[in-house]
A and B are shown apart, each in its own frame.
Chain A
């Protein structure tokens, strides 16, 4: 596969950024104890894992056919968890059903991954992988669109310029997903690098917002 090294480097950086983000994203759940915020750390954890799997799959030491499938589905679930968080964030009560649903979904993911690695993946061709790549990316784009709409609505309600960064980050992530889709369909090198660059830019925006929120000197001064 062309541009292996470049891809591995960007995938590794993306994975590291996602794992750092998990540290910040878990704080709302830890403080409030509300299950509806659990999707944030789970989403970024799965996203980080998918980039890590992706980096491994492109290296010559691992089997792309096996790890390629894992990263594809893990990424789909990552965006699902993020979208679910935004959907449930407006609910008044802490729904017990949500907790069970999340646990159920995690179990399903685990079973699917085990099946993919052990039984299904060796039988699938690259054409099948391409088809599922398109499906998962289209699903991810729908999830990101939902998040963008939700975050923009919130921004309009807040009328604070600081709340614009996150919808912007998700818009850039959306463009990254779209570019990746163009790349798999058209094999365009420009789309390939655009996809990786946009994705990394989006993640760096999230990281900036997280640092700004927790290390802003104007906040938390109670002494």
Chain B
């Protein structure tokens, strides 16, 4: 199947999901996030800065999701699940 290029929204969702999954560990390691979202380090840093500016992530060092970030992630997952069930593809 043809893989579509990820758009900004999808990348945001992937990064927030990765941060959420890594939140259980004592310290969130950037390399683990990078592996999960499959992005070059410099681009990942830029996206995380954007997420901090948007108020989805607390700060660039602690990498903790804010309430707004969690809310976005919830809506994002639900919509993705809905599109999957509807038989529609969103940039994979």
Contacts and interface: CB of A to CB of B under 8 A. Distances in A.
Contacts of A222: 20, 65, 70, 73-74
A40 B86 CA distance: 10
B63 to A, nearest CB: 15
Interface in B15-65: 20, 65
Residue among B20, B81, B82, B85 with most chain A CB within 10 A: B85
A130 interface: no
A99 interface: no
A197 interface: no
B72 to A, nearest CB: 9
Contacts of B84: 158, 160, 162-163
Contact of A28 (B20, B65, B73, B90): B90
Interface residues of B, number: 27
A31 B89 contact: no
A162 B87 CA distance: 10
B85 A85 contact: no
A154 B74 contact: no
A157 B1 contact: yes
A157 B75 CA distance: 24
Interface residues of A, number: 38
Contacts of A212: 85
Given A157-B1, A222-B20, A86 B88 contact: yes
21 contacts: A27-B78, A31-B76, A37-B88, A40-B88, A89-B88, A89-B89, A89-B90, A92-B5, A92-B91, A151-B87, A154-B87, A154-B88, A157-B1, A163-B85, A163-B87, A166-B87, A209-B86, A219-B77, A220-B75, A222-B70, A222-B73
Interface of B: 1-2, 4-5, 7, 9, 20, 65, 70, 73-79, 81-91
Interface of A: 24, 27-28, 31-33, 37, 40, 85-86, 89-90, 92, 147, 150-152, 154-155, 157-158, 160, 162-163, 165-167, 209-210, 212-214, 216, 219-223
